[in-house]
Structure 1
Amino acid sequence: MITDVHAPQAHQQPYSRAYEQMLDKVRYEGAYPTREKADETVRLVLAGFGRQLTGDERVDLAARLPLEAARVLTAQIPDTQPLTGWAFVKSLAARSGASLATTRWDTGSVFAAVTAHAGPDLTTRILHQLPTGYALLFGQAELTPAA
């Protein structure tokens, strides 16, 4: 018997409606063929992001995300040295085995959904906390303070 390894198992809890909506947004933004591919992408990117984000911004973002997404984010121990946006993409690509272009696309698709949940104020706070390069991943201009 052939089974689909991506099909939900009988003992697995169904996703919350909020998480399903998040997956639908990621699926649309990333043009993924299935909700399962969107879920895989969300989990990869949020796990990586959980290793970068710290402090109140991490707590506040987790509170605004659907429970399933918040668990993935907060299950990670933050790195002692945060990565730049480009190094973040390279790290995710190495973990997933995907190309840098695909990983950049995946990251932008997930961060579009994260921004929708976080709202503009929290997104700005998050971007101020992180090293350079994340604003572009969040679909925003990279602004640097005047010297």
Structure 2
Amino acid sequence: MTLRWETFVERVRERGEYRSPEEADRAARVVLALLGAHLVGEDRAQVAAGLPESYALILLNPLQAAEPLDPQRFVRATAAWIEGATEQTAGWDVSAVLSVVADSLDEDLMRRVLLQLPPGYDLLFGRPQAA
């Protein structure tokens, strides 16, 4: 089921403890653009299908990543794109957005998404995997 924009933003706002929906929206746009650069094929399309249309389009039309970013570099890249962000606040942004995304995925799709990403993203999605 596709989440409505207001519902998605409100969940990100709550998890990220943002003061406004605009802050949550900005974080969502940056994180989803970076995530989209790391996912391919049918899995990316299925993740997008559960997102509000404006976010789905961001995920489906990302900047191309030269190489997969490990979780720490993903957080640093997020910090670089959000004005005034630090690595610590960007880590919060990434986790707030990706945990809402993870809630919209079934277990099988979540597993396939994690297989496309470098090790460690399970923590960013709030879905720690057993070693």
TM-score between the two structures when normalised by the length of structure 2? 0.89
CA distance in 1, matches of 2:111, 2:61: 23
CA distance in 1, matches of 2:114, 2:65: 17
Q: Tell me the amino acid that sits aligned with residue 130 of structure 1.
A: L
Question: Identical aligned pairs, as a percentage?
Answer: 37
Residue 65 of structure 2 corresponds to 79
Aligned-residue offset at 1:96: 2.2
CA distance in 2, matches of 1:20, 1:56: 26
Number of equivalenced pairs: 129
Aligned-residue offset at 1:26: 0.4
For the 8 Å contact 2:37–2:62, the answer to whether it is kept is yes
For the 8 Å contact 1:54–1:78, the answer to whether it is kept is no
Aligned-residue offset at 1:116: 1.6
Q: Which has the larger radius of gyration?
A: 1
What are structure 2's unaligned runs of at least 5 residues? none
Give 3-state SS (helix, strand or coil) of 1:105's partner.
helix
TM-score between the two structures when normalised by the length of structure 1? 0.80
What are structure 1's unaligned runs of at least 5 residues? 1-16
For the 8 Å contact 1:65–1:118, the answer to whether it is kept is no
Q: 1:49 aligns with which of 18, 24, 35?
A: 35
Question: Looking at both structures, which has the greater relative contact order when contacts are Cα pairs under 8 Å and sequence separation is at least 6?
Answer: 2
Change (3 A) 1:116 1:140: closer
